[in-house]
Amino acid sequence: MSINQSGWRPEMNAGERSDSATYTGNRALMLDEALIFEIGSLDTTGVDFAEAPKAASRIGGLARNKDIGLPGLSEPEAVRHYTRLSRQNYAIDLGLFPLGSCTMKHNPRLNERMARLPGFADVHPLQPVDTVQGAFEVIHQLAHWLVTLTGMHSVAMSPKAGAHGELCGVLAIRAALDAKGQQARKVLLVPESAHGTNPATAAFAGFTVEDIPATEAGRVDLEALKARLGPDVAGVMITNPNTCGLFEPDMKAISDAVHEAGGYVYCDGANFNAIVGRVRPGDLGIDAMHINLHKTFSTPHGGGGPGSGPVVLSEALAPYAPLPFVEKQGDQFVLVEEETAGEHHAESFGRMVSFHGQMGMFTRALTYILSHGADGLRQVAEDSVLNANYVLRALEDVLDAPFARSGPCMHEAIFSDKGLPEGFSTLDIAKGLIDEGFHPMTVYFPLVVHGAMLVEPTETESKAALDQFIGAFRSVAQRAKAGDTALKSAPHFAPRRRLDETQAARKPVLVWKEPAQAEAAE
């Protein structure tokens, strides 16, 4: 009798399976999954309910009689459906996620446990304030940390995301100017390198956006800025460190110049991870800065939200902060809403959102902050900057790094497509990285660097993880330079090949239609 009955033997290679179809279309653990509309039914439910007691119907003839079209699945089928779908996603939990400007750091699971405590999760926002003092205390403690870390006067906690926070800051500026009779100040100066939300927000608030040029060194051109300041300028929106991953050394001078000219300084705090605990933006003279709790303070990205964007404010802008907010009066926490705004907050520009803000994100962020403490947060900034510089120096010989010669970067490193051969682009390198098992870096942002590749590893990557990433990136870049055409059709190993985005936009299919319906529509 031979041993090794079920293990590999040489003659097995004779039946080598070519890259052909399986019956299911699956590839071992790579499982395809249909839509709930294709596998569920209107008669199936995965939830058991008690019988509804007999009671008079009082919906006044508005009964919904027609089928809605919502398929159900039993619990086992539902769990399988979503588990299979989850496996078609890249995630921080799987590997390094080098998206510049997004700060894809590890999402600690203690945060999730704390957010789910019933005292936080099962509490209604309109309960009498005496019954939710603990929740207010969380908001108050987090607010204290944010104000102290940034060296600012106060903080508006209610904005629901970074862009919402930008809106808050910009509206506070508008309110402050209007209060001084300065409605004529209608221009906001925004660098061309700014994140798209900056000009979008400014435009929404009724401002006209003008570009601030950059210097060769990738910073705001201070002299050009000073030349443009005037009685029609409301202020500036600056990101610091900027979107090229560089600290703006003239930031204080910028703030001083803008203040002297009668304007205000909005700082986009998306890159706070580079300087938390090492620099206080308040010391740089800013008037408002949103903080992305889902970036610097680790609340999970969740596939695209929810976020949270509290806004720290200078003393000059504090009176205009939106409602509501939490204040401590003696031993008690109170909620200042429209009703009690009267004496101390009469100049608030108003309410931005129903209820109080992203409480679930506050508990997570406070848990994160308490875990790190003042020393840990400072270490976060240092390690994030060290990691980015390590990546920059390891790749600057194979990819063009436009600012590498003039000094270190902060928490993110930027490369351009200069030197790539004809027919090869940043996009091809990105797609090649996918086959290597990484999510690509941020591409084509900021606009000021041609074919930009913005790499932000964050502080939660080990040296080994960085080394592997560097090796993969190097390999893909070298393949591009050697003209490897396989890159043009990458990725080859992902659940899907490149998708036709043009068709999706030209003939949008945004909801499922039953096949008969879809044919009739054509």
Partner 1 sequence: MRYLPLTPNDRQAMLAAVGAAAIDDLFVDVPESVRLSGPIAGLPPHASELAVERHMTALARKNLSAGEAPFFLGCGAYRHHVPASVDHIIQRGEFLTAYTPYQPEIAQGTLQVMFEFQTQVARLLGTDVANASMYDGSTACWEAIGMARRITRRAKAILSGGLHPHYVSVANTMAKYTGDQLVTALPELTAEPDTDKLIGMIDDETSCVVVQYPDILGRISDLSDLAAACQAKKALLVAVVTEPVALGAIKSPGEMGADIVVGEGQSIGVGLQFGGPYVGLFGCKEKYVRQMPGRLCGETVDAEGKRGFVLTLSTREQHIRREKATSNICTSSVLCALAWSIHMTLLGEKGLRQLAALNHAGASAAADRLAKVPGVELVTPVFFNEFTLKLSKEARPIVRELADKGILAGVSLGRLYPGEDALENGLVVAVTETTTAEDVETLAAALQEVLA
Residue ranges in 475-514 that form contacts with partner 1 under rule CB under 8 A: 489, 491, 494-501, 503-505, 508-512
- HEC states along 154-207? EEECCCCCHHHHHHHHHHHHHHHHHHCCCCCCCEEEEECCCCCHHHHHHHHCCC
Rg (CA), the chain: 27
Is residue 203 a contact residue for partner 1 (CB under 8 A)? yes
As a whole number of angstroms, the distance between CA 181 and CA 179 comes to 5
Handedness of CA 109, 111, 117, 123 (dihedral sign): negative
- Cα–Cα distance for residue pair 370/376, rounded to 1 Å: 9
- Please list the residues that pair with 154 across neighbouring strands: 313
What is the separation of C-alpha 59 from the centre of its chain, rounded to a whole number of angstroms?
A: 43
CB of residue 219 to partner 1, shortest distance in Å: 9
205 burial level (CB within 10 Å; 0-12, 13-18, 19+): middle
By CB under 8 A, name the one of 200, 222, 261, 316 that touches partner 1: 200
Select from 145, 153, 226, 425 the one that contacts partner 1 (CB under 8 A).
145
Tell me how long the chain is: 522
d(CA 211, CA 200): 13
Binding of partner 1 at residue 93 (CB under 8 A)?
yes
Q: Does 515 bind partner 1 (CB under 8 A)?
A: no
CB of 297 to partner 1, least distance (A): 12
d(CA 451, CA 415): 8
Told to check if 120 binds partner 1 by CB under 8 A, we report: yes
For residue 496, the Cα-to-chain-centroid distance in whole angstroms is 24
Structure token pair of residue 317:
């802008």
In the set 186, 394, 468, 472, which binds partner 1 (CB under 8 A)? Answer: 394
Asked if 215 is part of the footprint of partner 1 (rule: CB under 8 A), the reply reads no
**Is residue 302 close enough to count as binding partner 1 by CB under 8 A?**
yes
Give the nearer residue to partner 1 in terms of CB position, either 15 or 25: 25
Binders of partner 1: how many residues, by CB under 8 A? Answer: 202
Q: How far is the CB of 12 from partner 1 (least distance, A)?
A: 28
Site for partner 1 in 309-328 (CB under 8 A): 322
Query: What's the token pair of residue 389?
Result: 């510089």
Query: Applying CB under 8 A, which of residues 153, 224, 262, 379 lies at the interface with partner 1?
Result: 379
Q: Which of residues 429-468 bind partner 1 (CB under 8 A)?
A: 430-431, 434, 439-440, 445, 459-463, 465
Residues 8-67 that bind partner 1 (CB under 8 A): 33, 35-37, 40-47, 49-50, 52-64, 66-67
The number of C-alpha atoms within 13 Å of 252 and in the hemisphere containing its C-beta is 6
Q: How far is the CB of 7 from partner 1 (least distance, A)?
A: 32
Give the count of alpha carbons within 13 A of 364, CB side only.
Answer: 25
Binding test (CB under 8 A) with partner 1, winner from 9, 27, 134, 483: 134
Encoded amino acid at 483, one letter = G
CB of 424 to partner 1, least distance (A): 18
Nearest-approach distance from CB 163 to partner 1, in angstroms: 5
Q: Which two tokens stand for residue 219?
A: 């910073």
Binding residues for partner 1 restricted to 157-176, rule: CB under 8 A: 160-164, 166-167, 171, 174
Torsion of CA 151, 152, 157, 159, to 10 degrees: -110
Closer CB to partner 1, 133 or 478, in the complex: 133
Which of helix, strand or coil describes residue 385?
helix
Stretch that binds partner 1, among 256-264, 311-319, 427-435, 478-486 (CB under 8 A): 427-435
307 binds partner 1 (CB under 8 A): yes
Q: CA-to-CA distance for 428 and 325, rounded, in angstroms?
A: 48
Q: Which of 100, 356, 402, 446 binds partner 1 (CB under 8 A)?
A: 356
Binding to partner 1, residues 218-277 (CB under 8 A):
246-247, 249, 252, 275, 277
